[in-house]
Structure 1
Amino acid sequence: MGYEYDWWQMWQDIIVPLGFVVLGFFFHAYLTKANAVAASKQAKSILEDAEKQAESIRREAQLNLRDQELKVHEKAHEEQDSARKELVDLENRIMKREKDFDRKLSLLDQKEQQLEQQISEAERKEQAAEARRTELDELIEQENRAVQKAAEMSRDEARETIMKRLQEALSEDSARLIRHAQNEARVLARTEARKIVVSAIERYAGEQANDVTTTTVDLPSDEMKGRIIGREGRNIRAFESTTGINLIIDETPGVVTLSGFDPTRRETARITLERLIEDGRIQPARIEEIFEKTSREVDDTIRKAGEDVLFQLGLQGVAPELVSLVGRLKFRHSYSQNVLQHSLETAFLMGSMAADLGLDPSVAKRVGIFHDIGKAVDHEVEGPHALIGGKLLRRHGESPEVYNAVAAHHHEMDVDSIYATLASSADAISASRPGARSDTTENYLKRLSRLENVAGDFEGVNKAFAIQAGRELRVIVAPSEISDEAATLLARDIAKKIEQEVRYPGQIKVTVIRETRCIEYAQ
C-alpha cells in the first residue's frame, strides 16, 4: 500500500503539475499561433492596402508624368513651328535676294554684251574708216596718175576715157536703182505686181493640139475578121450604119481599126465590138441590141465622170447638159493627152493662181474645167472650140466672165476679164509640162539646153544650169569679172534675152550667183 501511495503522490506531485505545464505550453503555443495567423492576416491586409495605395499613387504619378510629357511635346512643337516659320521666312528672304542678284547679274551681262558690241562696232567702224582712208589715198594717187597721164593724152583719148568711166558709174547707179525699184514693187505696189504677173503669164500661152480620130481593137485571131465582115459584108455594114463609125479591116494582123470624129460614138463602138467578139454571135440584130445597151452604159459613165470632176473642184449649180459635155471629154485626146484630165489640171492651176492674185478661185476653177468644153461637140458644130464652148456656156446660164474667158482663152475674141489670161496660161502650163503630151519631151529637153546656152553667151558667165523642170536658171559668174551691181544687170539682161528667144510656159526665175572662196592649207 505504501508503494502505491508513493506513485499516486508522485503523480499528484510531479505528473499533474507537469501536465498542466505541458497543457499551458501547448495552449500558449496555440495562442501564439493564432495570434501569428491573425497578425499574418492583418499584415496581409495591410500589405494589400499598401499595394493598392502604391498602385494608385503610381497611376497618378504616371498620369502626371504623361501630362507633363504632353505639355513638353506641345511646347516643343510650338517652338519647332516657330523655328520652322522663321526658317521659311529666312529662306524666302534669301531666295528673293538671290533673284535680285540674278536679275542684277543678268542686267550686268546685258550691259557687258552691249558694251562689247559697242566696242566691236567702234572697232569695225574704225577699221572701215581706216580702209576708207586707205581707199581714198589710193584713189587720190590714181587720180594724180590719171591727171599726169591725161596731160599726155590727146583729145579723143581723153573723151574715150571719160565716157568709159561715166558708163561704169552709170552701170552701178542703174543697178542700184533697179534693185531699189524691185524692192519697192514687192513691198508697196501689190496692184501693179498683179498686172505684171498676169501679163508675164499671158506671154507664155502655147499652141492648140490636134485630135485623135482612130481607135484599134485587138482580135483573138485573124479568123474573127471574116466573122466581123459577115456573109457578103452584111455584118460590117450593119455595124457601121448602127454605130456611125467606120470599121477598117486591113492586113494588119490581130487588130481592126475604128475611125470617126465623134469620140463618144467611137468609144461606144469599141465597147460594142469587143462585146460582140467576146459573145461570138455577130449578126445585125445582135449588133443593134448590144449597141443600144452599150450606149446607155456609156451615157451613164459620161454623166458620172462629169459629176466626179465637178465634185473634186467643189463646183455647184452646173446645168445637167454641161455635166454630160464635161464627161464626154473623158474620151477626147490631144497629142495622147486626155482632155478631161487636162481640163482638171487647168482648173486647179487657175484656182491656185487666182488665189495668189486675190481673185475668186471658184470662178477660176469654173473657167478652167469649161475652157475646152467646145471640144466635146466641135465635130458637130463648125468653128473654133473656144468660141463653141463660150456659146454653150452662155446658152446654159453661166456668168459673162466665165463664158467670155472660155471664148477668149485662145485670143479668138476680145478679152473682157483677167480670167481669160489665166486660162491661156494654165492651159499652156498643163499642155507643155514634160510627159503631158507625146511630142513635148524632146522640145522640153531642147528648151533646157537653149536656156543654158542663152546664159552662156554672156561674158563673165562660168556655168549655167536649168533646174526645177526649166522653171529656174542658175548662172554662176566669175567674181573677178562681175561685181555685185553688175550681177543685177546681168540677171536682167539674161531674162530679157530669154523672153525674146525662147518659148516656154509660165515664168523662169534667173538667179545669178557670185561668190569668192579663199582657201589655205595649214602644214
Structure 2
Amino acid sequence: MVWLYILIGVVALIVGFVAGAVIVKKKIESDNAKVGKTSEEILNKARREADEIIKEAKLESKEIIFKGKQEAENEIKEGKKELQAQEKRILAKEEALDKKVELAEKKEEMIIQREKEYEDKIAEVDKIKAETDNIRLQLIQEIEKISGMTREEAKQLLRQEMIEEAKVDAAREIREIEEEVKRTADKKAQSVIATSIQRCAPEYVSEIAVSSVNLPSDEMKGRIIGREGRNIRTFESVTGVDIIVDDTPEAVILSSYDPFRREIAKLTLERLISDGRIHPSRIEEHYEKSKQEVEKHIYEVGEEAAFNLGIHNIHSDLLKLIGRLKYRTSYGQNVLGHSIEVA
C-alpha cells in the first residue's frame, strides 16, 4: 500500500514535471514569437530612421557642397580682383620705373654733354690764358722799352705811389676820428664830471639805492598795483626789488641795495609799461627777457674793459664778473671805472 502511494506520488511528480515542461516550452515559444515580432518592428523602424538619416545627410551634404562651392567661387572672385589690382599696381610701378629710367638716361646724357662742354671750355680757357700770358709778357716788354724802366723800377715806383696814397687815406681817417672826438667830447665831459661828482660825494650813496621810472600817466600806477595788489606783489617777489608808489606825479620808485637787481627791475617795468599788459605771467616773461639783456650787457662791458686794458683770453665767467662791477660802488665811486683807472 505504501508502495502504491509512492508510485502514485512519483507518477504525479513525473506528470507535473512533464506538464510544467510543456507549459514552459509554450511560454518560451510564445515569448520567442513576441520577440521576433518586436525585433522585426525595431529593425523596420531602424531602417526607416536610417533612410531618413541618409536623406537628411544627403540634403546636408548637398547644402554643404553648394555653400562650399559658393565660398570657393567667392574666394576665386576675390582672388581674381586682388590679382587684377596687383597687376595694375605692378604695371603702374613698371611705368613709373620706366619713366625714372628714361629720366635718368636723359640726365646722364645731359651730364655727359655738360662734361664735354666743360672740358671744351677748360681747354678754351687754357688757350686764352696762354695767349694772355704771352700778350702780358709782350706788353711788359713794350712798357719797359717805352718807359725806359725795368720791372723792378716800375714796382718801386708803384710802391711809392701806394705809400703816398695810404698816407693820404690815413690823414683823412685821422681827420674823421678827430671830428668824431669833437662830437663826443661833450658826452665824455659829462661822464667825467658825473664820475668826479660821484667820487667827491660819498654821502650820495644812500640816494643811489633807488631808481625812478617815469610813467605815461598816473593811471598806470593802479595797473602796476593790480587788483588787490597782486601785480605789485608778483613784481616784488620775482625781481627782489621794492616798488614805492607815492604822490610823485607820473613816476614810481624802485628801491634795492643791489644795483644789478634794481637795473633788471627797472628794465622789466619799462617793458611792461611799453607793452601795456601788466599781469603776473607777463611780469615773469619780461623779467626773464630783461635779465638776459642785462647779463648780455654786463658781458659786453667786461669784454670792453678787458680790451681797453689789453687783456685777452679771459674766461667768460670772469668777463661777467668784471661787467657786474659796473653796478657796484665803493665810497660813492663806481668800482669798474676805478679799477680801470688804477689798472
TM-score (norm 1): 0.26
Q: Which structure is higher in helix share?
A: 2
